[in-house]
Structure 1
């Protein structure tokens, strides 16, 4: 393991991974992500000094390794964590008197500027870090396809998030397309900390290849080596309830009881990572927690009734202040400082037609020396992108989710890793990753919904080898507490839910066929053979395949349904498929399985600093002068443009 200078020692899964052969076949590594995902993937493709074949990292500028991450937010994190083993390889080479060329690494995602994308095509990196969707786009780009000829290794990180969904089906076909372009068999490596059954995931990762000729031609699964670390991390998981009987709440919200307890936990730990199940709750929870911490910072205890005055109405659910007919959701908070110098009023409501959520926030400050009052609406002037927000605490708790700008997310992630944040609230955007920093407690608001997701989230705490991962789950209603208890029990027993890869998804099949035909003509039988190599389509029947081709070539009437108009040309005489004008654009703009709800960019008044993204429907209902909550801060809309 000398090539890993800078890493103290290899642990169970790394040791096995390092001893595995580096020949061109697939390897599925199942190991604990906090000491398995990072290193297990790298000895085989990078450390080849004991191998008889030449190093794959030749001095020529060619792409050798593709690292697939399920979240674009992880890409830069992976790139940073690659520096340690790469630096170790260079030091070993220098000690041996070898002149090792620089190993270039590039990140490609939707956030990558156009200039960097073009530079990547002119001079491909040795290692490309990207997402399944970006790989699909590159495979459908005539200019980018050539750089895949030299690929020798593909690493699929956090494979458990892909193998059991249609997104994984989409990736499986992309991997077969990649193999068809490469000049040599590609080694595939899958990594996961929480997945089962391993044998099915191994078949998904490896796919199959055709062997033999003519009538003796058969489809044979590619060999896959399973590396099971057999290691279970120490967990301290508890389900906490803030009431003895949820029925005693009646129609009152439980959040005023949960928030003070969460703030207590934040104060008792160095860094707390708080997980919620949706972006809306992330924003609301950060607002509530900042109010609580700000109030305590002003010298008032959690039980001081003068701190927060809440006006409530009869409700029928556990959400704040829902009217019996569910036509309004209203939440009022008024706060008075001890010296009566400031009154803050906050109201959140859904209009009777339930079309949008609006925020009205006002801050009234009295200056006794001047005998005047100053009104500030929305964001105080000069607060800036990382200002203090509505709370008065010096270190406000932020929300982290996919709607925030890349710059904001990176800044929050770096602060979290540096240990300068007391807490951070996140959704699935913080669930996966390599280096989470000094987090010593995970708080889950409401049930994490599954054992695998619970393990991933609680595993963010005590992330280093030998440390105990501590998590606290706060259910919010009776059904939630039963689910949370079941999930916590499964986490402690290591009973991860089995995943099953969807088979013969014809919608994904249609997408990939249009994408493949848009860049080159295909013989019908050859295309069918390639698709059968992907595990989800190993049992695809000729009849189903032909039916999809019939639909894509316009066999069915399209006058009433524009979606049925032809997407490609099927030459039935020569049995070949060719593209129609616009097919490639259609494949690029409509590919993938992540739903596109439409998004508008939100900027500061300077028009340059991006704050994040807002859903198209929300923007449609927003007017100039409205205020909204984004990134734990209240912003006032001053302009709406078409773009």
Structure 2
């Protein structure tokens, strides 16, 4: 059942719930609580599932972690803090995961300083990132010494559940945080994550607390149900819904480089657009430019450098890990004049004092536009300044409508996909790696996912028969072992390789490693 929670606690009430170390650190660092913190920290402290919906820059990430760090500090004080994973933080972007890792280690270091000054017990809370960027040596280290807080992506979490050794550290997970849940729940990737959470729930000794962090989006009740999954009767499990109610102040303008787009050729309009963009960048301290494609980001940097603009960088997920981390770190410290990105910097990353966001062309949705523009003034109470540059009539209309909708608060409605049988097939193969499954037990687990609450037994059996190659599908070989008489399925030789090679819903690309003349991996 989805229950709206409107009570706002005072700072003193919230701090009274915290360990002395946490309350001392918080009082020294912050004057007051943000609205999401004042509403949500007590709910998380009560170990209730919760979805927190508030504008970008309102302190949602700190809200989610405050009570968790408090509990880990209490375990350390009582001498019961074990070497295992207590909290899993799932991020849709590797860059966001790396940023949260940095932003978590900073307060933990500050807490250790506070503990030393006040003669308190110093908790040794560990944090680690597991994603496609994680080296083999770091992965082996995690197996030997699991972190208390693990930051990962949906795909890496699914891989961990198929890892015989590391998944044992997840037996007693107590919290799972889904950040930027609005960005993932409306795609097949979201359906994949929903099934992965049900598998994790089945693997754990006890159920864990689910914490979802979302920008303002509709229908929020459906997103809350997606977060927690469903009971056997199809109703959503219990979840508290918290909406901050605060709106970020917007400074939006649609900029067209000419008064008549139809009177000039596209080449001239494009050239004028880049001249306008250069002027905007030069009149601000730090500018973040968004395009809709990686190739567009590379092209824009080239065009701006042609016009004499210096200290400009590009950032997207195809670049090498070292290059991306270097750009993020320099941007955070205000050392770069401008960064051009596709989607890799649009979600909750703390990117310092960006005072202008420019969007080239239409962002294609109100929510995505607000998410990107919210990167400027990315702190509570600051103004988000955005300029949308258009160079064709269709984009002009779309951006004008988007700006009006943003000011009115008319947000896109997300559509959560249901009964995606290709995603289900992946999950069934992954489940087969764990042990032999009774068909009915496996079906019950699948139905716990909100995306599959309406799945029929007939459709499920069609997937099982297809994967077990029990029907006459030309050219189809079996991916699992399936015994019709015993009503069981499990892995067969080659199942693990099939699963690892085909996991996830992000389209496969043919990639070539690019190495520059200095021997550095460019991407």
* The one of 493, 497, 512 aligned to 1:581: 493
Report the 3-state secondary structure (helix = DSSP H, G, I; strand = E; otherwise coil) of the residue aligned with 2:108: helix
Contact 1:439 1:461 in 2 (8 A): yes
- How many residue pairs get aligned? The number is 500
Instruction: Name the counterpart of 1:611.
Output: 522
Deviation at 1:438, TM superposition (A): 1.1
Q: Mean alpha-carbon deviation: is it higher for 31-40 or for 235-244?
A: 31-40
Deviation at 1:554, TM superposition (A): 0.3
- Pair 1:468 & 2:468 matched: no
Deviation at 1:252, TM superposition (A): 4.0
The 1:541–1:105 alpha-carbon spacing in structure 2 relative to 1, beyond 3 Å, is same
- Pair 1:518 & 2:433 matched: yes
* The one of 236, 240, 245 aligned to 1:230: 245
Instruction: Name the counterpart of 2:137.
Output: 115
The 5-angstrom pairing of residues 93-492 of structure 1 reads 99-210=121-232, 218=233, 220-250=235-265, 252-292=267-307, 294=308, 395-492=310-407
RMSD of aligned alpha carbons? 2.1
How far, CA to CA, are the matches of 2:448 and 2:359 in structure 1? 40
The 1:16–1:85 alpha-carbon spacing in structure 2 relative to 1, beyond 3 Å, is farther
- Pair 1:509 & 2:420 matched: no
Deviation at 1:99, TM superposition (A): 2.7
The 1:501–1:591 alpha-carbon spacing in structure 2 relative to 1, beyond 3 Å, is same
Contact 2:105 2:127 in 1 (8 A): no
How far, CA to CA, are the matches of 1:40 and 1:446 in structure 2? 34
How far, CA to CA, are the matches of 2:201 and 2:344 in structure 1? 30
How far, CA to CA, are the matches of 1:41 and 1:21 in structure 2? 7
The 1:8–1:610 alpha-carbon spacing in structure 2 relative to 1, beyond 3 Å, is farther
Contact 1:56 1:152 in 2 (8 A): no
Contact 1:522 1:577 in 2 (8 A): yes
User: What are the superposed Cα offsets for residues 113-140 of structure 1, whole Å, 9 maximum, x if unpaired?
Assistant: 0010011011100000000110011111
Deviation at 1:609, TM superposition (A): 1.4
Q: Please identify the structure whose Cα radius of gyration is greater.
A: 1
* The one of 34, 47, 52 aligned to 2:70: 47
* The one of 436, 443, 446 aligned to 1:531: 446
TM-score by structure 1 length?
0.75
User: 4+ residue runs of structure 1 moved beyond 3 angstroms?
Assistant: 48-51, 53-58, 87-98, 250-253
The 1:421–1:98 alpha-carbon spacing in structure 2 relative to 1, beyond 3 Å, is closer
Instruction: Name the counterpart of 1:596.
Output: 508
Instruction: Name the counterpart of 1:28.
Output: 51
How far, CA to CA, are the matches of 1:56 and 1:127 in structure 2? 19
Would you tell me which structure has more helix in proportion to its own residues? 2
The 1:489–1:575 alpha-carbon spacing in structure 2 relative to 1, beyond 3 Å, is same
Contact 2:376 2:385 in 1 (8 A): yes
- Pair 1:19 & 2:42 matched: yes
The 1:8–1:405 alpha-carbon spacing in structure 2 relative to 1, beyond 3 Å, is farther
Structure 1: 5+ residue stretches without partners:
211-217, 295-392, 613-643
How far, CA to CA, are the matches of 1:9 and 1:50 in structure 2? 22
Deviation at 1:12, TM superposition (A): 0.7
The 1:554–1:78 alpha-carbon spacing in structure 2 relative to 1, beyond 3 Å, is same
How far, CA to CA, are the matches of 2:470 and 2:455 in structure 1? 21
Would you tell me which structure has more strand in proportion to its own residues? 1
The 1:410–1:396 alpha-carbon spacing in structure 2 relative to 1, beyond 3 Å, is same
How far, CA to CA, are the matches of 2:175 and 2:217 in structure 1? 22
Deviation at 1:89, TM superposition (A): 4.8
Instruction: Name the counterpart of 1:567.
Output: 479
The 1:515–1:244 alpha-carbon spacing in structure 2 relative to 1, beyond 3 Å, is same
Deviation at 1:578, TM superposition (A): 1.5
TM-score by structure 2 length?
0.91
The 1:183–1:96 alpha-carbon spacing in structure 2 relative to 1, beyond 3 Å, is farther
Deviation at 1:253, TM superposition (A): 3.7
How far, CA to CA, are the matches of 2:493 and 2:72 in structure 1? 49
